[in-house]
Amino acid sequence: MTAPTPGPPPASDRPPTLLVLDAEPLPRLGRLTGRARVEHADEATLAERLPSADVLLVWDFASHAVRHAWPGEGPRPRWVHTASAGVDHLMCPELTESDTVVTNARGVFDQPIAEYVAALVLAMAKDLPKTLELQGAREWRHREGQRVAGTRACVVGSGPIGRAIARTLKALDITTALVGRAPRTGIHGPDDLDRLIARADWVVAAAPLTEQTQGMFDARRFGVMQPSARFINVGRGQLVVEDALAEALGKRWIAGAALDVFEHEPLTPDSPLWEVPNLIVSPHMSGDTIGWRDELGRQFVELYERWAAGRPLLNVVDKQRGYVPGR
């Protein structure tokens, strides 16, 4: 998506100030040498440094520091970019209502996450977790796996990530339905969700976190699913009522689940989720492939060059909706 630029850098003898909310390893911004005055902040210093910044790069995309610091005194950056697909960690009423343009890392994580979902589908269908467990115990136990071709999937979230998941599952000959915020060609609306998940062998959550999607997978929704269904969440942890999922698995309302995102991260060692039967837990890694940070850095530099040239920015977030509108 393109949208009006937040305005080119002001005419000045000094380059614009780019403030980076740091996380290790730091982004590679060498291409901006002489074109941006790069400053750094952490959660403790962000509030005091925001007023002097023209652009804010939220490299620490797990931090909620922006949400807490933004309402303070003084001017605010005209453009905020987050090195993540989701923006829920930084949005607050003051930022939503401001003229500041927000962009995200749309496009970087689509195919890696789709591949991860496909891997989970195959792993659960072929019972690979049990195979590895039995190998560790040196136990030879023949079992039968499930054929995925001809099964049904419902992918909830019709953005680039959801569409990439749908394409990849279809390549496995899985009949796949895509559910979005509103019905349109090739995409179902929310009113069809219960009907679709009631018939699905695979239910995949890939939606952004909004007021409408928070807690959407609750006890009622897990009760709608068939006993042979598996559930996968690669969207946001808050899409799922985790206690309800644990109960659904414990009572065998559904056959299995995989969570890559959680309401509170990192998952603590004493979390009961580690012990839930037939649940695969992974540490928010579905989109992270070798070189992903470099790709995020390149994407931001290219956006900065567009902004510096006065060209429209890409990946502009609709701050009211909480995501980049698409087709």
Neighbours of 53 (CB within 10 A): 23
The three-state DSSP-derived secondary structure of 28-54 is CCHHHCCCCEEEEECCCCHHHHHHHCC
For residues 302 and 315, give the distance between their C-alpha atoms in angstroms, rounded to a whole number: 12
For residues 164 and 106, give the distance between their C-alpha atoms in angstroms, rounded to a whole number: 12
Q: For residues 141 and 147, is the Cβ–Cβ distance under 8 A?
A: no
Tokens 């995309």, residue located: 61
CA distances from 326 to 2, 109, 181, 211 (A): 10, 16, 11, 19
For residues 33 and 301, give the distance between their C-alpha atoms in angstroms, rounded to a whole number: 11
For residues 80 and 245, give the distance between their C-alpha atoms in angstroms, rounded to a whole number: 35
- Reply yes or no on whether 265 is catalytic: yes
78, 81, 106, 236: which one is catalytic? Answer: 236
Kindly provide the b/e burial profile for residues 55-94, where b requires at least 16 CB atoms within 10 angstroms of the residue's own CB: bbbbbbbebebbbebbeeeeebbbbbbbbbbbbbbbbeee
- Reply yes or no on whether 81 is catalytic: no
Question: Residue 295 is inside which H or E element, if any?
Answer: helix 292-308
List, in sequence order, every beta strand (DSSP E) within 22-139: 37-41, 55-58, 79-82, 101-103
284, 295, 298, 306: which one is catalytic? Answer: 284
39, 94, 265, 305: which one is catalytic? Answer: 265
- Reply yes or no on whether 293 is catalytic: no
Please identify every residue annotated as catalytic: 236, 265, 284
